[in-house]
Amino acid sequence: MLNKMQPQPGQQNSADQATGPLRGLKVLDIATIIAGPLAGGLLADFGADVLKVEMPGDGDGLRALRPHKNGVSLWAKVINRNKKGITLDLRTPEGVEIVKNLVQECDVLIENFRPGTIEKWGIGPEDLWAVNPKLTILRVSAFGQEGPYANRPGFARVADAMSGFLSLCGQADSAPMHPGYPIADSVTGLFGALGILMALLERQTNPDAKGQVVSVSLFESMFRILDFLPIEYDQLGEVRQRTGNRNPYAAPGNCYQARDDQWCTVAASTQTLFERLASAIGREDLIIDPRFQTNVSRLQHADQLDEIIGDWFAQRSAEEACSELEAFSVTAAKVRTIDELFTDPQVIANQMIVGLEDDELGSVRMQGVTPNFSRTPGSVHSPGPALGADNNTIYAGRLGLSDAEITTLRNKQVI
């Protein structure tokens, strides 16, 4: 059995342990699956009071996605950490009334339904601003709120493909390869959290201004992170293609298989790093070889360079190879799996994994927070709640509903 990391100071399971620069910010998270809830989770990491709303019965569709333990969604434990959780059917008149009551005291609402859906339910931006004119609303979608694709359904894999990102992933002579994780959701969640913070800053600097909608989509987010690819096509007419693990911008840069069948990656992207690499593998002659004297020439002769470096790796274990390269300050690393990170000294030193107690699973471990703040650090104080775990606390404590009213709502499957 793995030794459990103990909860660190400031990271115990208590809502009053919430720390960070966003403490006092109130967020209503009615979004589903990944990108929207991740945006809310990032705010919760830094002290925001985030209330997660899920449909009665099955809850957020995220709970159906693997992995599970004893039927409990492990993904939900991370993405909804530090949040309180209630159930509420937003499609009912009672649900609409409750949402409007909740947003009266909120700074932010996060939703990710298809454009027009919350308007149809009666909780669109204008409906919500009628009860809270200062509310910031994050709208997450597949393709944005406007345009011919706006009403299309879409998930991360679709955004990967349509944005141009997927065309860069995989070997040149094989099918495009999706990453093993829905990266578009993560990128969009980050943009969503950033958008919320910018909107809140604008509201603070213009106190008389009305709240605003922040729109973010999987498609736009993935297109934005392509960086220079659009301007490269615009100015040079070049359509960049897949190059597998080989770095298309600098050489050498590839993954190499070691003697023990483990893989290592090398990124010798500058002239200095290449010269260090040549020295590390005992091939100083490469430095003066006309084929490898500049990055441009190295890219032109990348096959020969990869063969030389690959032969060197094949004579050593991954650990031996990386240790020898590290001695020459060459940027290289073994491709590691998650189990190796749990014992990594850098991970431990920076509390990148924290231990918590969960009502459903007992002791659990997950990522700590990032970025790190010197004066107002964030924290992880609770895993994601069980479905409807805070119904009584919120409906009775925050909204003042009686036991009879809560029972009626439950019997009508509103909560």
Instruction: Output the CA angle 354-358-362, nearest 5 degrees.
Output: 95
The full set of domain ranges for the chain reads 15-226+370-411, 253-340
The CATH classification number of 253-340 equals 3.30.1540.10
Residue-level pLDDT, tens digit, the chain, 415 residues: 223 333 343 344 444 578 899 999 999 999 999 999 999 999 999 999 999 999 999 999 999 999 999 999 999 999 999 999 999 999 999 999 999 999 999 999 999 999 999 999 999 999 999 999 999 999 999 999 999 999 999 999 999 999 999 999 999 999 999 999 999 999 999 999 999 999 999 999 999 999 999 999 999 999 999 999 999 999 999 999 999 999 999 999 999 999 999 999 999 999 999 999 999 999 999 999 999 999 999 999 999 999 999 999 999 999 999 999 999 999 999 999 999 999 999 999 999 999 999 999 999 999 999 999 999 999 999 999 999 999 999 999 999 999 999 999 999 999 9
CATH number 3.40.50.280 given to 15-226+370-411: no
Q: Phi, psi (5° rounding) for residue 141?
A: -145, 175
E-strand spans in 232-330?
Answer: 253-257, 263-267
Gap between the Cα atoms of 110 and 91, Å rounded:
16
The residues facing 26 across adjacent strands are 49
Residue 160's nearest CA partner among 193, 186, 194, 196 is: 186
CA distance 387 to 411: 17
Give the other-Cβ count within 10 Å of 217's Cβ: 28
Q: How far is CA 14 from CA 37, 107, 379, in A?
A: 21, 22, 11
Q: Strand 332-334 relative to strand 353-358: parallel, antiparallel, unpaired?
A: unpaired
Annotated catalytic sites, by residue? Answer: 185
Polymer length of the chain? 415
